[in-house]
Structure 1
Amino acid sequence: MIRLLSPQIHRFPTDMPALTGMRAFLALGVAMFHYQLAWTLPPEAIGLFNRSRLGVDIFFMLSGFILTHVYLSAGRTWTWRSFMTARIARVLPLHLFILAGMVGLVVGAKIVGVGLEPGRFNLPDFFSTLTLTHAWFPRTTMVLWNGPSWSLSAEWFAYLAFPSFAFVGLKLRHRPWLLVGLSALLFVVIDAVYSAATGVVLPRAEDNAGVVRIVPEFLMGMGLYFLGERLNPGRRLAAAMAIVSSAALVAAMQAGVDDRLIVALGVPFLLTVALASRAGTDGVLAHPALQFAGRVSFAFYLCHIPVLMVWRNAVEAVFRLPGDYLMGPWEILALMSVSGGVAVLLHLYVEVPAQAMIRRRTLPRPVVEDAVQA
């Protein structure tokens, strides 16, 4: 039996393996969305992978959930300095390394005569990407220095605004249903305004002021954390709810329903997976391979587009193919393997050492790693 809004608080454990494993699938889904734009798989395979880009919205909610767990749960103390130092250590080393790699690729492409879209790799876009502000303002073109980093720009905004998020979250922590409801209402309002201004729904906000997309979803993640502390399903019920919510989310993606409904289904998905993890029913998500993949997911998310660019240009040059050629299943599998290998190297030899160095030199004690969106 599950009691809603129980006065008893049920703390989440420090480690929630299911949330780490879940990150691997979310990052893979975003990559498959980008790959399916240029493959030869049958149309019926497109639904799931086309909507898997909405894993970004779940990442945004997950970020609010985990940062609440790390910094705002009972008994936790934190300072602005420790918070921002941990955020810098988490996102900037890999972001700067890959951006430097993109500069090298652009310069190298010009040297060897590879054609680039005129004017798209420009200095203003470079500096806005460098400072992670490229998704903060309205624009009509995409920033190509590393496409997925638009969501990192949105995350960076949430980090800078975290004291304001924390103020709202802590004020309403004892009324989590209200915080969840207000977050949902805020999403509806922002979606209406954004849709009227741009002609597309909020879950399609990316480079064009995509920062507005994270605000209600980050708050939703905070609300889900405080709500989850007051819910206590048994092990079987927790596992069953997680399975049902996961199946509903995947089915909705495959069916190609409205993006906003899929984002809404991400709410119970995140909550039930977290409750299942607290109950010790992490299932396959706790497998060591998925745990490692979850830790590597940030590197995979950031590097898969540069790898795709290099791959396609190399294949076009070697086999003399047109720029719009379609990839077959075996090529997609090979590309995925190469992207995964590059991500592992980046994680082990750039991300982890840089994080350790920054935290060792600036923080008095270790900080629990969060499930930040890349």
Structure 2
Amino acid sequence: MSVAGSPVADARPQLDQLTGLRGLAAWFVVLYHIRFSLTAILPGEVIAIFAKGYLAVDLFFMLSGFVMWLSYGEKFRSQGWAQSRPFLWKRFARVWPLHALILAGFVMLALVLAATGRTSDTYPIAELPLHILLIQNWGFTSELAWNPPAWSISAEFAAYLAFPALIIAIRWERLGLASLVAVIGALALCLHAWFAGLGYSILDDDIPRTGLVRCLAEFTIGIALAQLWRLMRESGRGGAIPFVVSASTGITGIALGLPETLWVLACFASLLLALALDGGPATRVLSSTPLVKLGDWSYATYLSHYLLFVVFKLAFVGSDLQIGWLGLAAYGAVVLAVSAALFAGFEKPAQKWLNQRTPLLLKSA
């Protein structure tokens, strides 16, 4: 729970339901990537649902902007640009070590494949420096390579670089409810118009070309949502109206067959706002200990699951690429165990180690 009494304390609430939501979203991405190996045991309707798992990334981007504003907004207000240096180091310490570890795992896999006469175009050595620097999805490549899910980490790191300017240049706290809703709507419509102009109706289309813009727009929507949440919480408003907006938007978009670029962002933004405001059954479920644990492990799940599935298929899956119920249970258990181990044994210790060694030039004055 947040500690009342100061703007900084109020800006850093403990919203466990959003952590639980992030955990479920990470597993939705897992199911998206393994769906073609489940066609023998699951009906087509379920596979079609898993095929939309990429949309969890759009939720991640909004959540990230939401959390960044609540965690750092007041610091930037009080310290200005000087806060950007320690902020960027903290974000680097948060995302890069585990990314580098999993990337090293892919390098080892590529070497083994090459040594056994099996090569793959998905591991281009020439692009490896881009992945090490986390800039692989900044328009330098035309295909996803190495660890495909890491494209979003690359795009989000660009959002971190833009965050200080977004916070300092725009006086979010001066915007009222109507203005914030208008900003969110305008950003969503602009992103839809941009996708439509490129001839795309799916948010996952042409990620190397569209992913960065997609991330920046949704990250900024998350910032606006955080300020909207604070205003609605202070005025005593609950999550009923956002829930209705989210549900009606989703039902309308699906029923009318509208392009997802037109309605998914509004649906997700309303859902995120509703869950942050709500104290009902949905919040209690998402705030449960198992789901919060999944949320804590979600970054490790997200980054490691693709490598684990490639190795799992090489070791245990036949030419039909189907894994069956037993294989699904085994793979899920492996991902869960590895995620927990990486979180406790590497991700958090590496983050702590780097945060204790902030370069002098990056420390705030």
Once the two structures are TM-superposed, the CA of residue 245 in structure 1 deviates from its matched residue by 6.7
Matched, 1:39 2:30: no
Which residue pairs with 1:346 in the alignment? Answer: 342
Once the two structures are TM-superposed, the CA of residue 257 in structure 1 deviates from its matched residue by 6.1
Which residue pairs with 1:263 in the alignment? Answer: 265
- Flag the 1:228–1:194 CA change in 2: closer, same or farther, 3 A: same
> How does 1:115-154 map onto structure 2 within 5 Å?
115-117=118-120, 119-137=121-139, 139-143=141-145, 145-154=146-155
What is the identity, as a one-letter code, of the residue corresponding to 1:344? Answer: A
What is the identity, as a one-letter code, of the residue corresponding to 1:32? Answer: L
Once the two structures are TM-superposed, the CA of residue 77 in structure 1 deviates from its matched residue by 4.1
> How does 1:103-114 map onto structure 2 within 5 Å?
103-113=107-117
Secondary structure of the 2:356 match is helix
Which residue pairs with 1:300 in the alignment? Answer: 301
Q: Check conservation: 1:89, 1:358, Cα contact below 8 A.
A: yes
CA distance in structure 1 between the aligned counterparts of 2:283 and 2:292, rounded to whole angstroms: 11
Q: Check conservation: 1:86, 1:359, Cα contact below 8 A.
A: yes
Q: Which of these residues, 309, 312, 327, is aligned with residue 323 of structure 2? A: 327
Q: Deviations over 1:337-358 (max 9, x none)?
A: 1111111111111101011111
CA distance in structure 1 between the aligned counterparts of 2:252 and 2:44, rounded to whole angstroms: 16
Matched, 1:355 2:359: no
Q: Check conservation: 1:245, 1:272, Cα contact below 8 A.
A: no
CA distance in structure 2 between the aligned counterparts of 1:290 and 1:249, rounded to whole angstroms: 26
Which residue pairs with 1:287 in the alignment? Answer: 288
Once the two structures are TM-superposed, the CA of residue 284 in structure 1 deviates from its matched residue by 1.4
Once the two structures are TM-superposed, the CA of residue 239 in structure 1 deviates from its matched residue by 6.0
What is the identity, as a one-letter code, of the residue corresponding to 2:60? Answer: F
Q: Check conservation: 1:17, 1:291, Cα contact below 8 A.
A: yes
Q: Check conservation: 1:22, 1:285, Cα contact below 8 A.
A: yes
Between 1:159-168 and 1:197-206, the stretch displaced more is 197-206
Which residue pairs with 1:166 in the alignment? Answer: 167
CA distance in structure 2 between the aligned counterparts of 1:213 and 1:163, rounded to whole angstroms: 19
Between 1:61-70 and 1:31-40, the stretch displaced more is 31-40
CA distance in structure 1 between the aligned counterparts of 2:209 and 2:88, rounded to whole angstroms: 26
CA distance in structure 2 between the aligned counterparts of 1:227 and 1:268, rounded to whole angstroms: 11
Which residue pairs with 1:221 in the alignment? Answer: 222
Which residue pairs with 1:273 in the alignment? Answer: 275
CA distance in structure 2 between the aligned counterparts of 1:192 and 1:258, rounded to whole angstroms: 11
In structure 2, list runs of 5 or more residues that go unmatched.
1-8, 361-365
Q: Check conservation: 1:249, 1:265, Cα contact below 8 A.
A: yes
Secondary structure of the 1:204 match is coil
Once the two structures are TM-superposed, the CA of residue 124 in structure 1 deviates from its matched residue by 2.6
CA distance in structure 2 between the aligned counterparts of 1:196 and 1:312, rounded to whole angstroms: 39
What is the identity, as a one-letter code, of the residue corresponding to 2:322? Answer: L
- Give the structure with the larger helix fraction: 2
Which residue pairs with 1:95 in the alignment? Answer: 99
Between 1:56-65 and 1:70-79, the stretch displaced more is 70-79
Q: Deviations over 1:237-289 (max 9, x none)?
A: 83656766776688789988632222320011010111126x99830112122
Percentage identity across aligned positions?
A: 30
Once the two structures are TM-superposed, the CA of residue 227 in structure 1 deviates from its matched residue by 1.1
CA distance in structure 1 between the aligned counterparts of 2:154 and 2:174, rounded to whole angstroms: 27
Q: Check conservation: 2:25, 2:56, Cα contact below 8 A.
A: yes
Q: Check conservation: 1:32, 1:49, Cα contact below 8 A.
A: yes
What is the TM-score with the length of structure 2 in the denominator?
Answer: 0.84
- Flag the 1:11–1:87 CA change in 2: closer, same or farther, 3 A: same
What is the identity, as a one-letter code, of the residue corresponding to 2:331? Answer: L
CA distance in structure 2 between the aligned counterparts of 1:94 and 1:85, rounded to whole angstroms: 15
Which residue pairs with 1:336 in the alignment? Answer: 332
Q: Check conservation: 1:18, 1:282, Cα contact below 8 A.
A: yes
CA RMSD of aligned residues (A): 3.1
CA distance in structure 2 between the aligned counterparts of 1:60 and 1:252, rounded to whole angstroms: 23
Which residue pairs with 2:209 in the alignment? Answer: 208
Secondary structure of the 2:311 match is helix
Secondary structure of the 2:231 match is coil
What is the TM-score with the length of structure 1 in the denominator?
Answer: 0.82
